[in-house]
Homo-oligomer: A and B are copies of this chain.
């Protein structure tokens, strides 16, 4: 029914979903592609929105626009956001902490069920009722916690090994904050999803632009 590579960008669908959720709170019941585009800002084109939504099945009424509530529900379904998800966090420094706090506060359908850290001073502590364990206990802890998604927020050198351990425990989705492209040996054909969040890489885009603009201005003068 729903294919993986059907030419729609998932982050974009998520943006639609978020905008709709916010607009729904204001009591509107129907919306056009043009209005939705305006909500999303300059980056969005109406034609793009129509094409995306159309790819999920015709959800609009010509001449009227889209019924917001069904659309929002359907987007949530496609994005997998109508389910609850259990998260394991590997690396409970500031970043792991920040991520835990973020999803707990903001995304009610995500819950942190397991936490790992390498530091003996952190192991044994509790966060919101979840005990921090050593990664060597991963197998035992995850058998009970039954997590779907892992967030890796450990130092770069440890990331690859931690990722392999987690995959071995049945994790199939990874959000990787460590500044390394994880190269996972995709054993026995299981498919694993990884998203990398590369802070230093993003920063370098900014510095590149700043440096380039500065150069251009010098040249101009």
Contacts and interface: CB of A to CB of B under 8 A. Distances in A.
Specify the main secondary structure of chain A where it touches its partner. helix
Contacts of A179: 18, 106
Given A15-B201, A79-B204, A181-B43, A209 B175 contact: no
Given A11-B204, A41-B181, A215-B1, A210 B193 contact: yes
A200 B205 CA distance: 21
A195 interface: yes
Interface stretch (A64-72, A93-101, A162-170): A93-101
Contacts of A58: none
Contacts of A173: 206-207, 209-210
**Interface pairs A-B: 9 shortest CB-CB:** A80-B211, A80-B207, A94-B98, A173-B206, A95-B98, A14-B204, A41-B183, A193-B209, A98-B98
6 contacts: A2-B215, A10-B208, A80-B209, A83-B207, A102-B199, A106-B179
